[in-house]
Structure 1
Amino acid sequence: MRGMLENWGLIYALASREVVGRYKGSILGLAWSFFSPVLMLAIYTFVFSVVFKARWQGGSESKAEFALVLFTGLLFFNFFSECINRAPVLVLGNVNYVKKVVFPLETLAVVSMLSALFHLLVSLLVWLLFYLIVFGVPSWTALLFPLVLLPLIMFTLGLSWVLASLSVYLRDVGQVVGVVVTMLMFLSPIFYPIDALPEWFRPYMNANPLTWVIESGRDVLIWGQVPDLAGWMVAFALSALIMWFGHIWFNATKSGFADVI
């Protein structure tokens, strides 16, 4: 945390450049960050609720509710996948920074996370507008969204540091990450509730680090329920431990980056 605060000016400048640079040259510019989740929400709603006629178990028959439930899960997963998919190239794609002794390489993961967090907030705004139009004002529990998101931020940051470091020495990491992230999308309760799974498989699903975040996110945003405090404390402690380990691992291995690259 001290390192991030000391380099906050640099982190903010790089994150702003990355967000703006992604849409540089396009006609709509930053507006794409708003229209993209709108289009994806419309497509997922059509495919799952119109074509497959899927309904959320325990919910109503409303297509709009199904779309919001589905989109809520994607809010968290898209944030996670954007950070993790980019992690293996954070160092390899910034060789010029590696050769600068004074540049804090650990900030690259933070920059990537802030860029993904920007897109998450835009998608959350799309969710909120859709909810206001269809159902009205959300429950007060929606204010707890940052608390639910915090463990995922720490977990993702720690994992990004580990993957960014490993990919320098093992170039296959990027290929493995792409496959694992795709598997996690279907092995996380995004398109279906946990209750729809066989009883014997649910412990394996609960071992997925994304499960608690997605389920708790739906509780606070849609169902109006306060997340389990004990579950949040466990998720927070484990995520903080992973972030701490990832930071130590990255700093312990970064001295060899220049030689390998």
Structure 2
Amino acid sequence: MADRFWRRLPVFAPLTNAWTHRQLIRKFVVREIVGRYRGSIGGLSWSLVQPMAMLVVYTFVFSVVFKARWTAQNEVAGVSFAVVLFVGLIVQGLFAECIGRAPGLIVSNATFVKKVVFPIEILPVVAMGSALFHSLVSFGVLFIAMMIAGNPFHWTILLTPLVLAPFLLLVLGLTWFLAALGVFLRDIGQMIGLLVTALMFLSPIFYPMSAIPEAYRTLILLNPLTFPVEQARDVLVWGRMPSWSGLALYTAISWTVAVAGFAWFQRIRKGFADVL
């Protein structure tokens, strides 16, 4: 009885719903990943080639053409600029894929909306699962690059899932919200593309926080990408412990966004069929 009571609480609705439909979500994630590369000669190997190519291009542009450097800490820790850069790009890539697809997620799957028995609220979770798969492949490329460059591995790498879990919750909540809003406001898709690009350059992906003037640091810290990018670098690259107080605050905000986004989606989903 107690277990059922906790599961029915609205605050746990996003997780309990995903757990209830976990088998269906798994099948759709696999179908989406395989379907993305269906018909191509390279097949799933493109999921590995793309992050490798991205790593090479960005490293050449920023470290060779622009001669960008992180800090003197790089020389002490033996960490290459490419590794520091790529960690930020992995986090941003997951955010961009989910948020970028969100406004058209329901519209592009209109046939499921008219099927009463189909739980359309799992579509954002499926999109997250697909993006997470490609992020895991990118992490594999990152570890290979670290070994080739001779960068040190720290035990704090094991804390990476803990650091990124709140970020995944935040992205999922925003995806639910934007997926529902995109049904009624089609122009939002164009706005989101601009916003995602702006957030990328307004987060410490291509530059360290120390390079930002004091007057603008508060603004940069309000960027939802800033904290996960910084914390991911701490545990993956620098071997530091995460900021537990910051992680607690970010988790609370992310959980609130996830619950609110799911509630918003469930509240207005009844109008989807009328618009589509």
TM-score of the aligned structures, taking structure 1 as reference length:
0.97
2:19 paired with 1:5: yes
Amino acid corresponding to residue 44 of structure 1 in structure 2:
Y
Where does residue 194 of structure 1 map in the other structure? 209
Aligned-partner SS, 2:127 = helix
2:239 paired with 1:224: yes
Assess if the C-alpha contact under 8 Å between 1:57 and 1:196 holds in 2: no
Where does residue 46 of structure 2 map in the other structure? 32
Once the two structures are TM-superposed, the CA of residue 25 in structure 1 deviates from its matched residue by 1.0
Once the two structures are TM-superposed, the CA of residue 179 in structure 1 deviates from its matched residue by 0.6
Aligned-partner SS, 1:93 = helix
Alignment of 1:44-55 (within 5 A): 44-55=58-69
Once the two structures are TM-superposed, the CA of residue 246 in structure 1 deviates from its matched residue by 0.3
Distance 2:136 2:116 in 1: 34
Aligned-partner SS, 1:60 = helix
Where does residue 156 of structure 1 map in the other structure? 171
Where does residue 255 of structure 1 map in the other structure? 270
Where does residue 175 of structure 1 map in the other structure? 190
Where does residue 58 of structure 1 map in the other structure? 72
2:148 paired with 1:133: yes
CA RMSD between the two structures? 1.3
Distance 1:16 1:159 in 2: 23
**Gap regions ≥5 residues in structure 1:** none
2:254 paired with 1:239: yes
Assess if the C-alpha contact under 8 Å between 1:154 and 1:240 holds in 2: yes
Distance 1:170 1:42 in 2: 38
Once the two structures are TM-superposed, the CA of residue 148 in structure 1 deviates from its matched residue by 1.0
**Gap regions ≥5 residues in structure 2:** 1-14
Aligned-partner SS, 1:138 = coil
Distance 2:166 2:44 in 1: 28
Once the two structures are TM-superposed, the CA of residue 27 in structure 1 deviates from its matched residue by 1.2
2:56 paired with 1:21: no
Distance 1:113 1:127 in 2: 20
Where does residue 105 of structure 1 map in the other structure? 120
TM-score of the aligned structures, taking structure 2 as reference length:
0.92
Once the two structures are TM-superposed, the CA of residue 9 in structure 1 deviates from its matched residue by 1.2
Where does residue 102 of structure 2 map in the other structure? 87
Aligned-partner SS, 2:120 = coil
Assess if the C-alpha contact under 8 Å between 2:70 and 2:208 holds in 1: yes
Assess if the C-alpha contact under 8 Å between 2:124 and 2:176 holds in 1: yes
Once the two structures are TM-superposed, the CA of residue 60 in structure 1 deviates from its matched residue by 3.0
Aligned-partner SS, 2:225 = helix
Alignment of 1:195-210 (within 5 A): 195-210=210-225
Once the two structures are TM-superposed, the CA of residue 136 in structure 1 deviates from its matched residue by 5.2
Once the two structures are TM-superposed, the CA of residue 61 in structure 1 deviates from its matched residue by 5.5
Over residues 11-45 of structure 1, what are the superposed CA-to-partner deviations in whole Å (9 max), with x where a residue is unaligned?
Answer: 11111010011111111110110111111101111
Report how many aligned residue pairs link the two structures.
Answer: 261
Once the two structures are TM-superposed, the CA of residue 130 in structure 1 deviates from its matched residue by 1.1
Once the two structures are TM-superposed, the CA of residue 135 in structure 1 deviates from its matched residue by 2.0
Where does residue 8 of structure 2 map in the other structure? none
Amino acid corresponding to residue 94 of structure 1 in structure 2:
N
Assess if the C-alpha contact under 8 Å between 1:15 and 1:112 holds in 2: yes
Distance 2:20 2:229 in 1: 32
Distance 1:172 1:49 in 2: 37
Where does residue 9 of structure 2 map in the other structure? none
